[in-house]
Amino acid sequence: MTEPTIWQSATLQEAWRAYHAAYMAASAADPPRAAELRDADLVTLAQCTAHVETQHLLSLLPAALREALVQHPDFALSTVEEFFVHVGQDVEVRGDDWVVRLPPPSLDDLHQLLARVGRFGADGRGCVPGTAHRVSVWRGRRGESLGVTLRVGRYVPNAAKALLPLALQGSVLILSKAGKGKTTLLRDLSSSLAHEASMPRVTVVDTSNEIGGDGPLPMAFLGRCRRLQVARREDQGRSMIEVIQNHSPEFLVVDELANAEEADAAWSIAQRGVNLVGTCHGERLADLLQNRALNLLVGGAAHAFLSNEERRLRNKTKKTILERPHVSPFDFVVELHTRSKGHLYHDVNRAVDLLLDGQDASQNASVGCELRLSEALPEQVELTIKKGKSSTNPFASTALDEGEVATSFKSYTDRDGYTSFPGDDKRQRGNHAHSYSNRRGAGGGNKQKRKSDEQLYSELSELL
């Protein structure tokens, strides 16, 4: 601990204010001291805050349940992640590598807990006031509350240390199934971006209040971060565009991109020069490609028709192939495998093209690598990314043939109604739109014999 004023504060809120004031002063006049503050005071202060907030969550439980839990030999306050409390079912409390089961709660205990944890939105979610803990309600057919799931929210400094250089260079999408720590990474990235010496405008679109906590003021660890709270889950896509138009952020952080409207908003934001950091559910990049509502996040998937000559040049047997119609709005995609490890795709366009071509992109070292999230980004990876950015323009380069520069598509329609691509320029593929529009809602050009969406996605599923 290097700054006495932080630890002489009467409350945690005052301690955080003292930390931010000391850090801002040091970052301008004494960068080494600023680094010391982040390495020592920030980490310790975050641990103290997490301990106090988890204790507060524990205090909301009915007395009998709380006593039984703290006396259980497997329970660990520092690693607890989830509480499941439901009428007529055993209580389950989960940690990093342990599970505690206790007898079912009484109706009085459940009603007492529901009264303490606050209100729920139309999406069944809420937050414990003044914390980042999420509460989700279990409802019956008539809307009655039958139980709750409580997710412990913590700010963990350096949890996303490897991702910070990526977020500073471009847009980052974090992909994983539920419970792998996506929101924890967003908290650290939001705070870390706000710590930058250039003092960028960092805005968080906080739909469930899991990043910045429930209340008019964002959690103290966010520091300079600005936050937009979203009243209804279905308004998130509109709110993303509203932030760009009204508040001019340089970095926009969004949790859980979940539908086509939000994917369209992300695609639009990426064209406006804003670095976007977002998350969505899914285990692998290949899974995201099969998601009709969300695959635009990585450029989408559409069918294209090849002439006989083009099929010969590409060594294809089918007249219809799958291609990526758009440039990915995200420069980097991270698949979370565990809370501390993942796989980074640093050339998303090429990785998607490889997958659509039936190849395993995860085994291709030219498009991605394994990553330890809490460690510094390997120097070799940084050099690869910088080299790739300086040598290619993602809006003009082809992803299937490295080193070749794509030209505008030339096409014609044969007697059978198929759109063909002349074989004298085999580089015409990848990032440019075809002569007909693949974008949702756009008008068509020449009439073509097209497969239905069901046939297209069935073929995509077989391919991946």
Domains of the chain: 1-60 (no CATH), 62-154 (3.30.450), 162-388 (3.40.50.300)
Ranges assigned E (strand) in 306-409: 320-323, 332-336, 341-345, 368-372
Integer Cα distance of 182 and 189 in angstroms: 11
Q: In which band, very low, low, confident or very high, does the pLDDT at 390 lie, cut at 50, 70 and 90?
A: low
pLDDT of residue 238: 93
Least confident piece of the model among 100-104, 272-276, 293-297, 315-319: 315-319
The 3-class SS string of 206-248 reads ECCCCCCCECCCCCHHHCCCEEEECCCHHHHHHHHHHHHHHHC
pLDDT of residue 449: 52
147 by Cβ neighbours in 10 Å (0-12 / 13-18 / 19+) ranks as buried
Handedness of CA 296, 298, 302, 304 (dihedral sign): positive
Residue where the block lists tokens 């639009």: 268
More confident residue, 190 or 318: 190
More confident residue, 175 or 118: 175
First to last CA, the chain: 51
What average pLDDT does the segment 118-132 reach? 83
What average pLDDT does the segment 47-63 reach? 93
pLDDT of residue 456: 64
Least confident piece of the model among 27-31, 351-355, 435-439, 448-452: 435-439
